Amino acid sequence: MVMVKYEIVQHDGGWAYKVGDALSETFRSHDAALKAANKAAARQKRPGVTDGIVYQDAKGEWHEELADGRDRPTTQIVDGG
């Protein structure tokens, strides 16, 4: 199963949460960034709609798959503050 980590970090004079290399907007306080990260993590866990997807890989080949809307990642909040 996929794990999505939300890390609370200092950013641009305030606080943000970071997922991989992507940063959220800047929040004035650590608590505000933590609250936003918890909300984002909760949204990741909500089931979606099972639907077909089509995508092209790095070699230029096309693939068709069925994306199960119940297959949601686990989440973790890492408090770096």
- Return the pLDDT at 1: 67
Collapse the DSSP code of 40 into the 3-class scheme (helix H, G, I; strand E, B; otherwise coil) and give the result: helix
Eight-class DSSP state of 49: -
Res 4 pLDDT > 90? yes
The model carries a pTM of: 0.72
Mean pLDDT along residues 60-73: 86
Count other C-beta atoms under 10 Å from residue 70's C-beta.
Answer: 8
Cα 20 to Cα 42, 62, 81: the distances in Å are 17, 26, 17
What are the tens digits of pLDDT across the range 8-60? 999 999 999 999 999 999 999 999 999 999 999 998 888 888 888 898 999 99
**Residue 65: what residue type?**
E
Domains contained in the chain, number: 1
Range of the domain at 69: 3-79
Collapse the DSSP code of 32 into the 3-class scheme (helix H, G, I; strand E, B; otherwise coil) and give the result: helix
